[in-house]
Amino acid sequence: MKTVLIPTDFSSSAMHAIDYALNLYKCERTNFCFLHAYADDVYGPFKSNGETTFEQQKEAVKIFTDKSLEDLTQKLADREHNPKHSFKTISAFDTLVDAVNDCVNQINVDLVVMGTKGQTADKKITFGSHTVQVFKYVQCPVLAVPSDYKYHQPKKILFPTDYMLPYKRRELKLLDTLASEYKSEIYCLYFSDFEELSHRQVDNQRFLKESLSNAYLFFERQPSKNKAGAIMEYIKKNNIDLLVMVNSRHSFLEDMLYRSTVDEIGLRLKLPFLVMQNLPR
């Protein structure tokens, strides 16, 4: 059984991500865990007025969180009626990233699915600050779903890669299972001005072929200039349903995530974005 963790702040964006995940895994036995990390809900608005103590504020927020999570699962159970799905809730007095990482380790999460922005997010951007933090620091694959994206089966998947990373077998298996379920085409897009691959790149490309054996794989190369623009153009030209990238030290994705904004892709990306991690678990 697959375990999918979905952080929620009870916003419409979070609900949209839940709906996407339920559709994506509608034919697979899946345990969905809904998490709300409420430390910011306590620290942010708390001001001592002599009547309410910090512990009382914390307890009040916990009670509200638990009730909201219970209402959410009841609503989904009444609506979905999918015998392959089970629901669990987790409330945590912690920051979002720490709470997600704790859950990843404790319940062996396969995938984190989340909305791209929360209740107070800037309407002009695709990825809010919480989403970017999860991309960067959570040790598990993360799938971010834009709030205005209408569900489509992931028939066409774009996977930009330089073949320099020793990919994680478990994370590629997640992608391979998805491709097998939907008979997906995966386009491995290599950015380079040179056609010839090094021995290391050849080995990693071979590992990709072996690990993604259930997908229809295509290997393409483009010049390395303006990678972000090339990715956006490729998505539009080929009607891509899902973008997949790997986060690791010194990777192209890391370069984007560590800028002050993720304007090159983050402002314009309008399709689900799966970030796989090259980190130890």
pLDDT of residue 261: 33
Q: What is the layout of strands, in order, in the sheet containing 2-7?
A: 85-92, 30-37, 2-7, 111-115, 142-145, 273-277, 242-247, 156-160, 185-191, 216-222
Assess if residue 120 is contained within a domain.
yes
Q: Are 274 and 243 in contact (CB under 8 A)?
A: yes
Q: Are 18 and 85 in contact (CB under 8 A)?
A: no
Assess if residue 28 is contained within a domain.
yes
Assess if residue 107 is contained within a domain.
yes
255 with 121, same domain: the answer is: no
8 with 125, same domain: the answer is: yes
Render pLDDT for 183-209 as a digit per residue (tens, 0 to 9): 999 999 998 888 889 999 999 999 999
Averaged pLDDT for residues 130-154: 89
112 with 194, same domain: the answer is: no
240 with 139, same domain: the answer is: no
How far is CA 81 from each of CA 32, 71, 150, rounded to the nearest angstrom? Answer: 14, 16, 22
160 with 41, same domain: the answer is: no
Least confident of 72-76, 172-176, 260-264, 267-271: 260-264
65 with 123, same domain: the answer is: yes
pLDDT of residue 42: 79
Which residue range is the domain that position 48 belongs to?
2-145
E-state strands within 38-137 = 85-92, 111-115
106 with 199, same domain: the answer is: no
Tokens of 138: 């959570």
Closest among 56, 63, 3 to 36, alpha carbons compared: 63
Buried b (16+ CB within 10 A) or exposed e, 181-208: bbebbbbbbbbeeeeebeeebeebbebb
Number of domains in the chain: 2
Assess if residue 102 is contained within a domain.
yes
Render pLDDT for 35-83 as a digit per residue (tens, 0 to 9): 999 988 877 765 555 567 888 888 989 999 999 999 999 999 999 899 9
Polymer length of the chain: 281
Boundary-marking domain end, from 145, 169, 193 = 145
266 with 186, same domain: the answer is: yes
Neighbours of 155 (CB within 10 A): 15
First to last CA, the chain: 19
Q: Are 131 and 273 in contact (CB under 8 A)?
A: no
136 with 233, same domain: the answer is: no
Assess if residue 186 is contained within a domain.
yes
Assess if residue 151 is contained within a domain.
no
- Mean of pLDDT over the chain: 86
85 with 189, same domain: the answer is: no
CATH code for position 34? 3.40.50.620
Q: Are 117 and 127 in contact (CB under 8 A)?
A: yes
Assess if residue 150 is contained within a domain.
no
Closest among 99, 79, 81 to 89, alpha carbons compared: 99
pLDDT of residue 226: 76
pLDDT of residue 262: 38
122 with 225, same domain: the answer is: no
